[in-house]
A and B are shown apart, each in its own frame.
Chain A
Amino acid sequence: MGKERLQRYSLAGPENQAAVQAGLAGADWFRSDVPRKRMKELMRRSDYPATRDTAIWLGLILLFGGLGIAFWGTWWALPIFTVYGTLYGSTSDSRWHETGHGTAFKTRWLDEGLYQLASFMIMRDPTVWRWSHARHHTDTLVLGRDPEIAAMRPARLARLIANFIGLVDVPIALRLMFVHASGRLTADEADFVPGPERHKVYRTARIDLAIYAVTIALAIGLRSWLPVLLIGGPRLYGAWLLNVYALTQHAGLGENVLDHRLNTRTVKMCAVNRFLYWNMNYHVEHHMFPLVPYYRLAELHEEIKHDCAPVYPSIWAAYREIIPAIVRQLRDEEYYVRRELLPGAPPLHVPAPVNDGRGLPLAPAAAA
């Protein structure tokens, strides 16, 4: 089961070709009809929101990092590093994401600078993941094509849980750093990272490894965990919130669907969560219109919500669906959450005759 499952989700496996043959790769996806004039307003960028939010974010990280150093050796360090680690190891994900799209700032170097920093913090190679994420947007939840499917069907439950403290992502990231530093890519990465871009991957891995080597040397030299708690370590002990947010995006929903209204969730969140997550809770909106910056997604939501499935009123509401779905998929891998569009919404986008447009396994259908 395990090997077969990995094969199905591998970009180097047979599902990739099956998806291409079935017309699911690089296909047209449903998009709501928003007037061009309004879309231009929504796509327009400004440096102010992201500069303000980044100043607050980095300020908090520096503040709690400083407090962590000051209170090191006392019990106060525990809550302080919990906050520091969560800001570093979880919320760098949304900064990585938004700047990776190039939509956070109007000024390119600001966007690129934060992208490089956030990529380091979240332990993702900025080049590999830029291409990986482009593929995720092209072929969202298409088997054999999307390299960013968080919850397989059936889920690798132990790994999902362990990853709440980074126990999957971090070892993989470290292994990949060594692979990249030696001038190689994995087979999956080679499927989406073009040749002319690969030298950047190798260079970044060598720089990152050097930073971690210095951090570890400092820890050994000082005979203290403090350097590791400040650099790198938060990706373990602070990763929990990243996973809480990320699983709401697609977990449990249909695969091989060319309609983000059906394979993606928009979840209402409070102002604090929306700051920490940079509004990525408006995930249907983001996938449908990736050019809209995070600070305009709430407005975009108002424009298209009548076209979509009902929004989830809270993180808790989303997990009331996600957890049972993942558990049920452990014994019934054909199961997925079928989202129903609101009355009057444009109909289901049926992309190919090989499935019902919602998520039947592709390979058997293609072979039939």
Chain B
Amino acid sequence: MAEWIAACVAADIDPEDVIPFEHAGRAYAIYRSPDDSYHATDGNCTHEQTLLCDGLVDGGVIECPKHNGRFDYASGKALGAPVLVDLRTYPVKVEDGTVYIDVG
């Protein structure tokens, strides 16, 4: 069942960047691509649970700041060692300049 949560103001995220968001004790990462589409994933790397919000966003990929594990942030797909488990992704919508994610 959908549970849309207001995560941030869309303009708070620079193009090709990520910010952290926490809800009900769970960390999320919200991304803005260069073409202004928004995406959301779990906030922690699946390798060793490092927060991804300090990582590098480049070309549709988020790179973990600790071990450089890479994920496609739109699909959550892990792109090779040291990350082998995909990231969970969440539906995102932008309404009236606010980014909502469906954590349901």
Within 8 A of B (CB), among A113-145: 127, 130-131, 134, 137-138
Given contacts A39-B54, A40-B17, contact A197 B68 (CB under 8 A): no
Contact string, B48-75, partner A, CB cutoff 8 A, digits 1/0? 1100001110100001011110100000
Nearest to A139 among chain B residues (CB) is B48
B84 touches A289 (CB 8 A): no
Q: Is the CB of A291 within 8 A of B84?
A: no
For chain A, what secondary structure do more than half of its interface residues adopt (helix, strand, loop), or is it mixed? helix
A180 interfacial contact with B, CB 8 Å: no
In the complex, which range does the number of interface residues on chain A fall in? 20 to 34
Question: Do B84 and A134 touch across chains, with their CB atoms under 8 A apart?
Answer: no
Question: Is there an interface contact between A197 and B58, defined as CB atoms closer than 8 Å?
Answer: no
B61-97, CB < 8 A from A: 63, 65-68, 70, 81-82, 84
* Pair A26/B48 contact, Cβ less than 8 Å: yes
Among candidates B49, B58, B66, residue contacting A290 with C-beta atoms closer than 8 Å: B66
Whether A289 pairs with B65 at a CB distance below 8 angstroms is yes
Q: Does A364 contact B (CB under 8 A)?
A: no
Residue of A39, A43, A130, A289 near B82 (CB, 8 A) is A130
Q: Is A196 an interface residue (CB 8 A)?
A: yes
A131 contacts B81, CB within 8 Å? yes
Q: How far is the CA of A106 from the CA of B81 in the complex (A)?
A: 17
Q: Is the CB of A137 within 8 A of B67?
A: yes
Give the chain A neighbours of B17 by CB distance below 8 A. Answer: 40
In the complex, what distance in Å separates the CA atom of A102 from the CA atom of B82? Answer: 11
Q: Is A221 an interface residue (CB 8 A)?
A: no
A194 interfacial by beta-carbon distance below 8 Å? yes
Give Cα A130 to B54, complex, Å: 21
List which A32-68 residues lie within 8 A (CB) of chain B.
Answer: 36, 39-40, 43-45
Interface contact B81-A290, CB-CB below 8 Å: no
Q: Among the listed A102, A131, A137, which residue makes an inter-chain contact with B66, where contact means beta carbons less than 8 Å apart?
A: A137
Question: Is A197 a contact partner of B81 (Cβ separation < 8 A)?
Answer: yes
B residues near A (Cβ < 8 Å) are 14, 17, 47-49, 54-56, 58, 63, 65-68, 70, 81-82, 84
**11 additional contacts (CB under 8 A) given A130-B81, A138-B67:** A26-B49, A40-B14, A44-B58, A131-B82, A137-B66, A138-B66, A194-B84, A196-B84, A197-B84, A289-B65, A290-B66
22 A–B contacts from the bound complex (CB under 8 Å) = A36-B54, A39-B54, A40-B56, A43-B56, A102-B68, A102-B70, A130-B82, A131-B81, A134-B47, A134-B67, A134-B81, A137-B67, A138-B48, A138-B66, A138-B67, A196-B84, A197-B84, A290-B66, A291-B55, A291-B56, A291-B63, A291-B68
